[in-house]
Amino acid sequence: MSFSNFGFIPPIGKAISRINYSNPTPIQEQCIPAVLSGRDVLASAQTGTGKTAAFCLPLLDLVANKPKHKHKRNISPDVLILSPTRELASQIEQELKRFSHFMDTNIVAVVGGVSYKLQNKLLKSNVNFLVATPGRLMDLVRQKKINLKHIDALVIDEADRMLDMGFIPDIKKIFECTSKDQQVLMFTATLNKQIEKIAQQFLKDPQRIAIEQENKANKNIQQIAYPVADYNQKKLVLVDVLNESDLNQAIIFTATKREADRLSDELYLLNHRSKTLHGDMSQRERTRTISRFKNNEIQILVATDVAARGIDVDDITHVINFDLPRQVEDYIHRIGRTGRAERKGKAISLVVDKEKFMLQKIEKYANIKIEIIKSNHSTADLSLTYKKKESGFKKKRRSSASNKKNNDKFTSSSKRKKPGFKADVKAKPRRRPVKKNTKSQATVS
């Protein structure tokens, strides 16, 4: 199947040819006709499968065929796209600009960390596509800087991530400010009961699209786990991995921002071109860091899960889980940064004893077997089978209860009489002693 089968207007077809898009991916093949028909869509597909184009291309076509409005200040945008992170919002904005290269389309992104003054200025003209993070959009709605009552389409991207980050209440408030006749598209990497419940609140008789095979771990990614005993052993194994000859660029994921900063500084002192990316950085710093990473000025990006989605760099050969994620779905998103565009990649996890249970959950969820490799720097057990350790308090209680039970058993057994005791041994009756009357005997004599 070719993109020409969808019947896009010539400027969109020209833009598709310009960026060398050939055939649509499975998510695009199923989503584009549904969006063009005006139906609500609930789609499940892993990041990196082309889902951004799956909604951008048909919505651009719909907006191009819509009658033009005369200029009015503070008018509603034609399409509102909600993104959980600034990085993903920026990526969507860039994709829209690429696809609308030969069109007169106004695309505006409003995210945190950027000057309100600049964004307010951009919102004063007719906006065709508004890409926004929920927090900043809510601020602008409260300030009455934007009107959402007449939008034609609402896109909720990465709905599962929105749920994890606590954005659902904000999205409900945003939804209440929009038109009830709009077309709603919801995209998620994982489809579970919670997402289904949220979808029921926003979508009307949606067409459900699930790319099941693509929702699991990428077959182009070699997945490895190194058992380690502690932080120091993690660092030693990490240095070996970073010195591998096939490493071009890598993202290292940590659990906390503080740990990301510390690890990046340590790697920099070891002459690695490393930089940090996390939520405490300003939008300007984050944008500059991602731009430098894309240009290969930075070889190693040490990041929290803020970078698990929204970074599209084809040259990433390694994803390293310095700390395993808290959610199994986040593991899929992390490793999805490598092995893109049919290239090969490596996903390496450094696993301490308390993380073994999470690794087992990941294997079960993704239906994969992670290869276990013993490092020369590690003293940890090669087995990654999780053994739950009993807490000291529970162990003490169990030991105390066992001792009490044994003592009670010993006491009861010592009181038990031997068989035949009453029959064989007869107690002699006690006789009262008889007193002699010495006085009476003396009188008689």
Distances, alpha carbon 354 to alpha carbons 102, 180, 387, in Å = 54, 48, 9
How many Å is the maximal CA-CA distance in the chain?
158
pTM of the model: 0.68
- Are 3-215 and 221-372 in the same CATH fold? yes
The confidence band for 444, taking pLDDT boundaries of 50, 70 and 90, is very low
User: Residue 20's pLDDT band (boundaries 50, 70, 90)?
Assistant: confident
Helix (H) or strand (E) holding 320: strand 316-321
Query: Does residue 31 contact residue 41 with C-beta atoms inside 8 Å?
Result: yes
Reply yes or no on whether the pLDDT at 338 is more than 60.
yes
Encoded tokens for 166: 């606590």
d(CA 237, CA 225): 11
Distances (CA, A) of 196 to 182, 190, 199: 19, 10, 5
Residue spans per domain, the chain: 3-215, 221-372
Write the pLDDT tens digit of every residue in 81-107: 999 988 889 889 999 999 999 999 999
Residue 57, SS3 per DSSP: helix
Q: Name residue 345's beta-bridge partners.
A: 221
**pLDDT cut 70: percent of the chain above it:** 81
Residue 372 has pLDDT above 90, yes or no: yes
H helix or E strand, kind and range, residue 292: helix 283-294
User: Mean of the pLDDT values across residues 323-346?
Assistant: 85
Question: What average pLDDT does this structure show over 52-59?
Answer: 96
Q: Which residue has the tokens 């009453």?
A: 422
- Residues 309-332: tens digit of each pLDDT: 667 788 899 999 999 998 887 888
Dihedral sign computed on CA atoms, order 41, 45, 48, 49:
negative
Is pLDDT at 435 greater than 90 in this prediction? no
The pLDDT value recorded for residue 66 is 83
Q: What is the pLDDT of residues 286-298, one digit of tens each?
A: 888 988 998 999 9
- Pairing state of beta strands 183-188 and 316-321? unpaired
Per-residue pLDDT tens over the stretch 410-426: 555 555 544 544 444 45
Give the CATH superfamily of 221-372: P-loop containing nucleotide triphosphate hydrolases (3.40.50.300)
* Homologous superfamily (CATH) for 3-215: P-loop containing nucleotide triphosphate hydrolases (3.40.50.300)
